[in-house]
Chains A and B, each alone.
Chain A
Amino acid sequence: MGYKSNNIRNFCIIAHIDHGKSTLADRLLEYTGTIMERGMTEQVLDSMDLERERGITIKLRTVRMEYKGEDGESYHLNLIDTPGHVDFSYEVSRSLAACEGALLVIDAAQGIEAQTIANLYLALEHDLDIIPVINKIDLPNADPEKVLSELEDIIGIGREEAILTSAKTGEGIHEVLEAVVQRVSYPKGDVNMPLKALIFDSHFDSYKGVISYIRVMDGSIKSGMDIKMMSTENIFKVQDVGIFKPNMSLYEELNAGEVGFFTASIKDVKNARVGDTVTSVTSPASLPLPGYKRATPLVYCGLYPTDTSRYEDLRDALEKLQLNDASLFYEPETSVALGFGFRCGFLGLLHMEIVQERLEREYELELVTSAPNVVYQVDMANGERIEIHNPSQLVDEGMIETIYEPFVTAKMILPQDYVGAIMELCQDKRGKFITMEYLNKDRVMIIYELPFSEILYDFYDKLKSRSRGFASFDYEYIGHKPSDLVKLDILVNGTEVDALSTIVHREKAYIKGRQLASKLRELIPRQMFEVAIQAAIGKKVIARESVKALRKDVLQKCYGGDISRKRKLLEKQKEGKKRMKQFGNVEIPQEAFMAVLQVE
């Protein structure tokens, strides 16, 4: 089939986690023969091992399917997969911008959840045609009728628009494809206009350099052409152009409305950032596509090699990961307590965990991680505004005018029985109640404004446990706001341990200081001298604990000639010691650096 923009459909699948997005995608690929059933790994689109293990999509994938409609016409259906986690919401919004339609997948047993709504709003913002898909109707506890009512009541979409499917059995797959053809608008670009293409993802290939995933809005892109990135004005010569089906296949050109990739010997993903507009050098577009922003890290933490001699290996590994992940930020950092390492910035906690895990798994690095923190903004008394990525950078209170911390709005959907418990949780977390809405007679949506730092660690777990697993949750960063914050320092034997400093709300500082000091007393093993632990705000000590000196550590037992056993006991003791960080002459175990998170 040649190029005919009204035979192209660009769509994505959006859903709450675990509602069956990836399985549905697999069935669509099978049904259209894009992929053979046999030899297909479950959930083709999630290709990183980590993604499959965690059941979430991190990196976007995109595939072109050939489909012959009931009307006899042949169609190109481009399925653009989206990441399923709020950490990657900017990437989600860019891939939505590449589509005209979205399948909104809802689990027939679970019903509408917080991310269903968040994703729907995002899709509506991009003016997408929505096709609701009630999935997993094969489940014994499926209740499609109830979900259809929720759809009408909560979202305002008529029940007749929904398609019932079971991605597991294949039921309803044909109907979904027909709906994509009939209900999703075809792309409205002009192939004769100057080139405008949206980069919605990229990945690094060691042979070809950066492979940019694009949606051509206007004009066309072909190999040999000189192109320009509109945000940086950097110019490259296009090498290859092609599409994914799902493997990369080369094409002459991509025209307005089409989705595919190009390569241009770009050595660094930073030169092909998600959201940027690609145009032609000879006849450039006058304006870029709207909505480009650089993904900025919201969460920072320090990463240090346990074995200090592996600092360079860690640098190399971060460099390699960054080739593929433009939103990963790192810069060298020296901590008195932890030595040489890197301050790393992430989009969120999940993003952080993924990077840590990849460093440990793929690069075999053992890491000490300092507790993650959010980004603070500070108005200094001298009028300067600075950003704080590490709590230990926060200067004396006297030099500070105002401190700002990031806030989010959190949407939670839960059975009404748990409203009291969840509201209490949000109040504890310095939340500000915004609104509550009944979705139906027993389900409620509550919206709170919360400091991002308060949901950073165990909020989700607490939400789940206080609602017996029924509450779902989604959040969105809304900006920095002034807060009454102070720096809480920890002193070990009179010296401040920079990696243990935190920024906390003034009202919670005392209790946190006491809890942290007592937690550290448990975590720091006894040494040959007494270890004093103090929590302080500025010069004022607010809590004290001490780890008593170890008086005796000797084996006074006769093992006969079993010297191997004696030696192994000593080796084990030595191993334990190696895993600690030497701070002055005090040994601090790794767990201590995460203790900050474990206090209420």
Chain B
Amino acid sequence: MNIKEEGDIAIYIHIPFCIKKCYYCDFNSYPLRGEDVYGYLSALKSEIKEKALLLRKEQRKVSTIYIGGGTPTCLSGEELGRILSLCKEGFSLTCDAEITVEANPGTLSEDKLILLLNEGVNRLSIGAQTFNDELLKRIGRLHKTVDIVSNYNLARDVGFNNISMDLIFGLPGQSLGEWMETLHMAVNMKPDHISTYNLVIEEGSKFYEDMKRGEIAPLEEELDLEMYTKAKEELEGAGYEQYEISNFAKTGKECRHNLVYWRNGEYLGLGPGAHSYFKGIRFSNFRSIPQYIRGVLSGSPVEEREIIDEVVSMWETIFLGLRLTKEGVGLARFKERFGHNLKEVYGRQLEYLQGQNLISFENGHLILTSKGAILANRVFIEFAP
């Protein structure tokens, strides 16, 4: 895992549509309706052209494109194809650029997959979530286990050689046994990359309302923790390396797009509610589709801007970097970036956290210990300015 892309940019494109919103989801997505899609797509196309022009002026290359959502694959193959070809025309891509599309089982057909492959998509991220039909139903997913398997096999047959699978644990009513079964089934299918997310019941989701009414409750912490530990054991046993708190990959199949975030690199987000970090400023687009469209038409879809000063940037570098469980924060890289030694800036915090056995230094990198990984927030706040 030696990917060095300083100077290169990651591009995120947000597709804010789903056929139906899942019960745990608080992301920026809306039910799919024809008239919205049309306006959105034309605004997005303008934004792609405008951002492409900007990067060309800056002579910046693009090393990853990630089309996420929502459910990008709920758009037609042609619509997705148009977005992708505009990107390829506009951005100056590196020769080995990673191009990912998120897909939900049941939204993939052979034609759509071939079209994506032909447009240069070289990575698929499938939102499997769990392999238990009853649970899938309870969390508001529209697919069944068989859809995961058939769509996955279809993608392999068509020629995708880099497929990731998203799994979610800690669902209300989920047992450790069910989670283990999901892990087995996922591992047996041999995806190249697996993300395991722990359910957080967020305000804005249906689950949040259910929880307020007392209909569901978050899992016991001990069980949650056991699910996490078992996932790590299971996946590492099957040859996946944990490279980030929630992410596991076969050698060389780490998600390069997400690595840009964790290494506190630069990226541009396009589409409603998408976030960017460019030239020391974090900014985000309007979340609502109509506002986003109006923004693009009148010159800028940006809703919020925040200038990141050096102190905050150092903190971000640490709390993002430490999520990378193997790589952590490179001391040399930190020094190169900020001109300060990490050990000098945070002497007191490092001493305290080492004393608590939450962090350690490995070959010039600051990393979380296994205890630190499950108490990561406690570690991160110590570095807050």
Contacts and interface: CB of A to CB of B under 8 A. Distances in A.
13 contacts: A528-B375, A550-B378, A554-B376, A556-B196, A556-B197, A556-B228, A557-B200, A558-B246, A563-B316, A566-B319, A570-B319, A570-B377, A577-B381
A420 interface: no
B374 interface: yes
Contacts of B185: none
A552 B224 contact: yes
Main secondary structure of the interface of B (DSSP, over half): mixed
A577 B380 CA distance: 13
Of A550, A561, A570, A573, most buried by chain B (CB within 10 Å of CB) is A561
Contact of B384 (A552, A558, A561, A570): A570
Nearest to A567: B316
B180 interface: no
B306 interface: yes
A441 interface: no
Give the 9 A-B residue pairs with the shortest CB-CB distance, closest first. Answer: A556-B198, A561-B275, A554-B376, A574-B381, A574-B384, A553-B377, A556-B246, A552-B374, A562-B275
Interface stretch (B44-52, B85-93, B233-241, B276-284): B276-284
Interface string B333-359: 000000000000000000000001000
Contacts of B151: none
Contacts of A561: 12, 261, 267, 269, 274-277
Interface string A45-58: 00000000000000
Nearest to A555: B377
B357 to A, nearest CB: 10
B377 A554 contact: yes
A574 B381 CA distance: 6
A528 B380 CA distance: 14
A571 B198 CA distance: 21
B320 interface: yes
B245 interface: yes
Interface in B182-224: 195-198, 200, 221-222, 224
B43 to A, nearest CB: 19
Contact of B282 (A560, A563, A570, A574): A563
A551 interface: yes
Contacts of B315: 567
B225 interface: yes
Contacts of B197: 556-558
Contacts of A564: 275, 282, 284, 304, 306
A528 B195 CA distance: 27
Contacts of B68: 560
Contacts of B304: 564
Interface string B310-336: 001001100110000000000000000
B261 A553 contact: no
B302 interface: no
Interface in B84-115: none
B277 A570 contact: no
Interface string A149-179: 0000000000000000000000000000000
B198 A570 contact: no
Nearest to A558: B197
Interface in A564-589: 564, 566-567, 570-571, 573-574, 577
Given A556-B228, A563-B282, A574-B381, A551 B275 contact: no
Contacts of B222: 551
* Of listed A555, A556, A557, residue having the most chain B CB within 10 A: A556
Nearest to B371: A528
Given A554-B376, A555-B200, A558-B197, 20 more contacts: A528-B356, A528-B378, A550-B378, A552-B221, A552-B224, A552-B228, A553-B374, A554-B373, A555-B377, A556-B196, A556-B228, A557-B200, A558-B195, A560-B275, A562-B275, A563-B277, A563-B316, A570-B381, A573-B381, A577-B381
Nearest to A548: B221
A573 B225 contact: no
B320 A563 contact: yes
B225 A567 contact: no
B195 A551 contact: no
Contacts of B195: 558
B30 to A, nearest CB: 16
Best-surrounded residue of B196, B275, B320 (most CB of chain A within 10 A): B275
Contact of B225 (A551, A557, A558): A551
A556 to B, nearest CB: 4
B264 to A, nearest CB: 8
A554 B275 contact: no
Contact of B221 (A551, A571, A573): A551
A535 to B, nearest CB: 27
A505 B240 CA distance: 64
A578 B356 CA distance: 19
A563 B320 CA distance: 9
Contact of B319 (A528, A560, A567): A567
A570 B375 contact: no
Contacts of B225: 551-552
Contacts of B381: 570, 573-574, 577
A449 to B, nearest CB: 48
B342 to A, nearest CB: 18
Contacts of A560: 12, 14, 68, 269, 274-275
A552 B375 contact: yes
A564 B312 CA distance: 10
Contacts of A528: 356, 375, 378
A563 B376 contact: no
A563 B284 CA distance: 11
B196 to A, nearest CB: 7
Contact of A562 (B198, B284, B374): B284
Interface in A520-535: 528
A564 B284 CA distance: 10
Contact of B374 (A551, A563, A566, A570): A551
A577 B376 CA distance: 15
Contact of A557 (B12, B198, B356): B198
A554 B384 contact: no
Contact of B377 (A551, A563, A573): A573
Contacts of A550: 375, 378
Nearest to A565: B275
B167 to A, nearest CB: 11
Most buried by B among A550, A554, A555, A564: A554
A529 to B, nearest CB: 9
Interface string A304-315: 000000000000
Interface in A196-210: none
A582 to B, nearest CB: 11
Centre residue among B258, B277, B312, B376 by max chain A CB count within 10 A: B376
Interface string B360-385: 00000000000001111110110010
Given A528-B356, A561-B267, A570 B274 contact: no
Nearest to A553: B377
A564 B304 CA distance: 11
B239 to A, nearest CB: 21
Interface in B7-25: 12, 14
Nearest to A561: B275
B245 A554 contact: yes
B232 to A, nearest CB: 11
Interface in B273-305: 274-277, 282, 284, 304
A561 B245 CA distance: 16
A551 to B, nearest CB: 5
A21 B193 CA distance: 78
A470 B352 CA distance: 57
